[in-house]
Amino acid sequence: MITFDKVNKRYDSGQDALVRVSLEMDRGEMVFLTGHSGAGKSTLLRLLTAIERPSGGSVLVAGQNLNRLRNSRIPYFRRNLGIVFQNHQLLFDRNVFDNVALPLTVAGCGRREVGRRVRAALDKVGLLQKEKHNPITLSGGEQQRVGIARAVVHKPAILVADEPTGNLDPRLSEEIMGLFGDFNAVGVTVLVASHDLELIARLRRRVITLRAGQLVFDGVPGRETVHP
């Protein structure tokens, strides 16, 4: 489903953000991406979502080589992705329903289909009763749930989250991770970047760890492969 083959990313400043990173994720797998600040986690996610291009090596998603993806095709490629951000990136001039509906509206879905899908997504994250609220009136945890509903409303094959619990307390963090687990249980491939090592350890999922742009750990705790 997802393959990084000896991927390098060097910025114009000369910084090597990723150094010969190779990894594979199977369809339907849920994986956590960890590492210190500046280790390369966000860079890896930006390459996966075609926000940036690698300096070397190949990134493949569902058999498609992103190195060869034309800029004009990137929006169509991203329709297969759901992306969750730490800071939500919600529109505060629109209500919850309209925020979640945005990907469907852009894709040209009809009004009835939009209504059905948005309410199903909001129900899944426990916010159906707040569809008419402005996001600014919601708690941080609720705002993150709106972001998750927006990311999954178009039924993506892959869900990517960059520090989705970074601003939440431990109880809310566990609830949000539980939602990702629920989506994974119905076949969505999930990749979550997180600093919350204690929570990740309890979930007993595969963990990929980066250090200074290099892959140093890959495996489920207790059954891992450590990279020198």
Residue pLDDT tens, the chain, 228 long: 999 999 999 999 999 999 999 999 999 999 999 999 999 999 999 999 999 999 999 999 998 999 999 999 999 899 899 999 877 789 999 999 999 999 999 889 999 999 999 999 999 999 999 999 999 999 999 999 999 999 999 999 999 999 998 878 888 899 999 999 999 999 999 999 998 888 998 899 999 999 999 999 999 876 645 555
Q: Which of 166, 90, 176, 171 is nearest to 134 (CA)?
A: 90
Q: In this structure, are 76 and 1 located in the same domain?
A: yes
Q: In this structure, are 22 and 76 located in the same domain?
A: yes
CB atoms inside a 10 Å sphere around CB 61: 21
Q: In this structure, are 211 and 121 located in the same domain?
A: no
Q: Which two tokens stand for residue 149?
A: 């509903």
pTM of the model: 0.91
Q: Which of 136, 118, 138, 114 is nearest to 128 (CA)?
A: 118
Q: In this structure, are 148 and 180 located in the same domain?
A: no
Q: Would 85 be classed as within a structural domain?
A: no
The answer to whether 188 and 168 are in contact (CB under 8 A) is: no
CA distance 76 to 126: 29
Number of domains in the chain: 2
Which structural domain range is residue 112 located in? Answer: 90-155
CA distance 177 to 145: 11
